[in-house]
Amino acid sequence: MNEEELIPYIIVLFCFFLLFGLLYSRYLLTKRNTKTEVEIGNGQTIGTREEQDDSFGSMTTPIGTIAVIADGISGLANGKKASIIATNTFLNEFSQLKTHSNIQSYFSTTAQIANRDIIQNLKGTSGGTTLASVIVDQNGYLHWGAVGDSLITIFRDGDFISVNKKDIYENVLEERYLSGEMTINEVKTNPMRKRLINYLGFTGFKNIEIGNNPIKLKKKDKVLLYSDGVSDSLTEVELENILSKELSPYDAAQEIIEIIEEKQLKNQDNATVVILANGW
């Protein structure tokens, strides 16, 4: 075959590679511009309490998706009001967030605003709330902040990954145990071990626990936020049995609440759970 006969083949081959290059470039551009979509489900029960002091909410903006739960302190007169103020403050401040670079500072700044607003609104009366909040940005990274005893957990491949710690007196007692100041039995039997040592609406509030490094979420991860009405009522095994099913976040959250209500515990606290999944 001479050179003239090869020319049509060369042209076809050139066009093939050009078309392949254009299609691949389009794929990369589409992938780069694809936004993470987060599916959210929630469930809630009042338990045996007279009032629902838990509050929760979520929102999606160009920055990402935020979810918040706040557990108003039932032992204080205005737990419900405090939890609503905290939730609304976190949502309102997030709606004004313009860049990803401000996500980390958002948690600490907003916590200070919420604490101030709660104290001002209560006008000297008692009230306070725990709070747990997460942001899943458009690249599938989890950012978080928490104060009190509401928990953030990632369910991944059948295991639970704890994200935050409870701000309770038991942590102080355990430090004393480790230093040899008291026995493990004294820690477990101390009647004050579950008392909150940090929360919003507290005049001594200083900071909120924040994740220093965002967590890259994996496909099929489920992110849970829940009040102690859930963690004190269900075991990890019970939660695992529910979360391992092929359920939507909403259906999983509803089943968690159904099992809590079926137990009919005598002193069942308000219980709230929010689950985020899919899209990363």
Q: Could you give phi then psi for residue 42, rounded to 5 degrees?
A: -145, 160
Tens-binned pLDDT, residue by residue, of the chain (280 aa):
555 555 555 555 655 555 655 555 454 444 444 456 899 999 999 999 999 999 999 999 999 999 999 999 977 778 999 999 999 999 999 999 988 878 989 999 999 999 999 999 998 788 899 999 999 999 999 999 999 999 999 999 999 999 999 887 666 666 776 777 778 887 677 776 777 889 999 998 989 999 989 999 999 999 999 999 999 999 999 999 999 999 999 999 999 999 999 999 999 999 999 999 976 6
Distance between CA 223 and CA 153 in Å, rounded?
6
Give the dihedral of Cα atoms 164, 168, 171, 177; nearest 10 deg.
-160
What would the DSSP string read from start to end of 222-237? EEEEE-HHHHTTS-HH
Q: How many helices and strands (H and E) does the chain possess? A: 8, 11
Map residue 54 onto helix, strand or coil.
strand
Distance between CA 163 and CA 225 in Å, rounded?
10
98 burial class (0-12, 13-18, 19+ CB within 10 angstroms)?
A: exposed
